[in-house]
Structure 1
């Protein structure tokens, strides 16, 4: 097996390397489920009770913050935060909504890491937009279900296919129901993959005004990291055969011990974990990284990571592969999982893509593959930005992101009529 082939298998493994820093961080020693103190009426606004996200990351800066709760068709209860206006208010009742969708192993707080002047959620609110922040199933604010407890393995029986089919439509419908308007969309990392897959199937495109995709993930064949190669050697089979766990909790002993074993391999430097995972970020400050460590990692499902690993290994964007022809036939009526054809994304859907030259996850070559699928997109509807010095985390936490990326997003959204 070639080194390149091994690196293709490494996405699942090297993402877990983040665990070591979290585990040793003094502020992150307790269970994530201690944060789950929010109970609101289904589909309703909770004006009296705010989650830790609103209280610690939004209202303290002088912004209004509202809590919503919405239930997916398969029973997952999702928490959604809303910043309806900027600190100075104004903008009337028809402020354009924007939905922010985070990536894997983090939650909605990822959009609130820097100061209000440097965080995209606040910049959008201050620029006249109605900002909505999603939290994917399994993360700390969205760990409830109508029937299942997170301690039940069945709760974790989902992959990013289910985010395409259930979570994203449910949250978009909530925004549409509350505002009566199509929403702009911002996704980062896995948040871009879910959107692209959704758009390719024509889902929710009637309720999306435009989409900004940061560090877009669709194809994962050119990831570059030595840690990925080492991790890949441990993933000869699917991860379920290693951990035997439905929940992929980075603080659990099986996952933690696995990562520690990886870090004992020659030439592996787990100290500089962020560079190892995302590439050499140019523009993060120490206080932002410290806050990041206090709020992540968030749990996800093992099945979700297996699906991501399949995407990297096979070089094809398709639905979850159950590994046996009979299982795939039962789920899809086909021996192989159906592919997501990104060429089917509506050509007149306004898209803004921004990617970085130092990104080890969303590698430039893989983004170029994605752009090739969009080659017939309406020329005036596709805007592409390449930031040579940026890596994966710079696009959401970089101190220069406002000037380089966020202002471009604001302009892009304002130009959509």
Structure 2
């Protein structure tokens, strides 16, 4: 039987590990001032906010403030004027939703010749770009302080799907006068849409077409060992982290974000290392030379990771252990209290009545092709499921590749045309 001394040592060791990992996940570093970053040679694009960055390339964008039913304050952007569209915008509007740990920047960081938001705006679509609670454009609340109120971070994809996405849909329709819009989601941006249709099907009726890029639902076959390890660490130690006040993870200005923003711009060698790390994170079977350029990598690390809640990351850890697309599993006893059943309820994928176009990569280590096939077999109105015609196409390629203009855009454009008017 272990002595009290050994038990005490184990408690101290575990506590030290928890605090140490929590510090890396969430604690702000000594923030590097903008002037210092400029003097160190950080690429200018990585230092600009959304409206500044689009303006730099001849696109005029607007920032809009959306308040959800549960009082979260989100910034949403609209590309008001495109550089290469010189006629009336197509209707209805298009809402684009980013993935986990990302922001609206994910659609523009690869530049005007490749960013999907730029390409759609140049094709005269009325493009709106959302942000979820918890990232740096969604880190406000009517009454809660994200720096001091733990309750602010008590959310996962459930709340994003029930409150954030509906609030943005209502805001866009109210401001444009349309009854419906078209939706483009990437990864988590798809999963939260499916949650919305399950929990609030009346909002699913406000969408004409849903374009799903590498859609995340269950992630039972995810091959990324790093993603599995991080999310399941968050799941296992969520309560312990919370005891130490650690509720936000991978936020802007955190150790991880500041380090990679600094490291990836040091030299050609470090840029190459960052590209390799991205491939390792995605667990790609083979590299994709030239797809995500060094310039794009140096820009995106200025905006990624953008932050989320520990609770959301823990839910992703759970999603890799079950073959169901389900709500948070609190354990059988607490599930009975929360849900009235020992198992968490499944989200109703049959409620996704909106027509769906799906594009995915064969080399995606985060959203595996098996899970995509499982998801598509359960949606009632799938128009087409298309693997990108490039065997090396991976998860990050879907939004950051220089090949987007011919690998992704044509198919997205083809279907949007069917559901829009000039």
TM over 0.5: yes
TM-score normalized by structure 2?
0.77
Q: Which residue of 2 aligns with 1:386?
A: 387
Query: For the residues of structure 1 that align with 2:163 and 2:81, how far apart are their CA atoms?
Result: 28
Please report how far the alpha carbon of residue 88 of structure 1 lies from its aligned counterpart in structure 2 after TM superposition: 4.4
Query: For the residues of structure 1 that align with 2:340 and 2:348, how far apart are their CA atoms?
Result: 18
CA separation of 1:179/1:237 partners in 2, compared to 1, >3 Å: closer, same or farther?
same
The ranges of structure 1 where at least 4 consecutive aligned residues each deviate by more than 6 angstroms after the TM superposition are 19-23, 253-256
- The answer to whether structure 1 residue 247 and structure 2 residue 251 are counterparts is no
- The answer to whether structure 1 residue 63 and structure 2 residue 59 are counterparts is yes
After superposition, where does 1:2-401 map in structure 2 within 5 Å?
30=31, 52-92=48-88, 95-151=91-147, 152-181=149-178, 182-201=180-199, 202-227=201-226, 234=233, 237-242=236-241, 244=243, 245-249=246-250, 272-280=276-284, 282=288, 283-325=291-333, 327-346=334-353, 349-374=354-379, 376-377=380-381, 382-387=383-388, 388-401=391-404
Please report how far the alpha carbon of residue 248 of structure 1 lies from its aligned counterpart in structure 2 after TM superposition: 1.6
Please report how far the alpha carbon of residue 84 of structure 1 lies from its aligned counterpart in structure 2 after TM superposition: 2.6
Query: For the residues of structure 2 that align with 1:125 and 1:255, how far apart are their CA atoms?
Result: 29
Query: For the residues of structure 2 that align with 1:21 and 1:150, how far apart are their CA atoms?
Result: 16
Query: For the residues of structure 1 that align with 2:75 and 2:216, how far apart are their CA atoms?
Result: 24
| 8 Å Cα contact 1:22-1:296 kept in structure 2 | no
3-state secondary structure, aligned to 1:213 = strand
3-state secondary structure, aligned to 1:125 = helix
Query: For the residues of structure 1 that align with 2:320 and 2:393, how far apart are their CA atoms?
Result: 22
Please report how far the alpha carbon of residue 21 of structure 1 lies from its aligned counterpart in structure 2 after TM superposition: 13
Please report how far the alpha carbon of residue 203 of structure 1 lies from its aligned counterpart in structure 2 after TM superposition: 4.4
Query: For the residues of structure 2 that align with 1:22 and 1:205, how far apart are their CA atoms?
Result: 34
Q: Any unmatched runs of 5+ in structure 1?
A: 1-16, 33-50, 257-268
Please report how far the alpha carbon of residue 66 of structure 1 lies from its aligned counterpart in structure 2 after TM superposition: 0.9
Q: Which moved further from structure 2: 316-325 or 69-78? A: 316-325
| 8 Å Cα contact 1:186-1:211 kept in structure 2 | yes
3-state secondary structure, aligned to 1:389 = coil
Query: For the residues of structure 2 that align with 1:132 and 1:390, how far apart are their CA atoms?
Result: 26
RMSD: 3.2
CA separation of 1:219/1:229 partners in 2, compared to 1, >3 Å: closer, same or farther?
closer
Please report how far the alpha carbon of residue 22 of structure 1 lies from its aligned counterpart in structure 2 after TM superposition: 12
CA separation of 1:405/1:69 partners in 2, compared to 1, >3 Å: closer, same or farther?
same
Please report how far the alpha carbon of residue 234 of structure 1 lies from its aligned counterpart in structure 2 after TM superposition: 5.0
CA separation of 1:254/1:130 partners in 2, compared to 1, >3 Å: closer, same or farther?
closer
Query: For the residues of structure 1 that align with 2:410 and 2:295, how far apart are their CA atoms?
Result: 23
Query: For the residues of structure 2 that align with 1:52 and 1:370, how far apart are their CA atoms?
Result: 37
| 8 Å Cα contact 1:85-1:131 kept in structure 2 | no
Q: Which moved further from structure 2: 163-172 or 54-63? A: 54-63
Equivalenced residues, count: 361
Instruction: Give the number of the structure whose alpha-carbon radius of gyration is greater.
Output: 2
| 8 Å Cα contact 1:65-1:83 kept in structure 2 | yes
Please report how far the alpha carbon of residue 226 of structure 1 lies from its aligned counterpart in structure 2 after TM superposition: 4.2
Query: For the residues of structure 2 that align with 1:359 and 1:68, how far apart are their CA atoms?
Result: 33
Please report how far the alpha carbon of residue 186 of structure 1 lies from its aligned counterpart in structure 2 after TM superposition: 0.8
3-state secondary structure, aligned to 1:66 = strand
| 8 Å Cα contact 2:157-2:195 kept in structure 1 | no
Query: For the residues of structure 2 that align with 1:235 and 1:209, how far apart are their CA atoms?
Result: 37
Query: For the residues of structure 1 that align with 2:94 and 2:292, how far apart are their CA atoms?
Result: 25
Q: Any unmatched runs of 5+ in structure 2?
A: 1-20, 34-46, 259-272
| 8 Å Cα contact 1:192-1:217 kept in structure 2 | yes
TM-score normalized by structure 1?
0.78
3-state secondary structure, aligned to 2:377 = helix
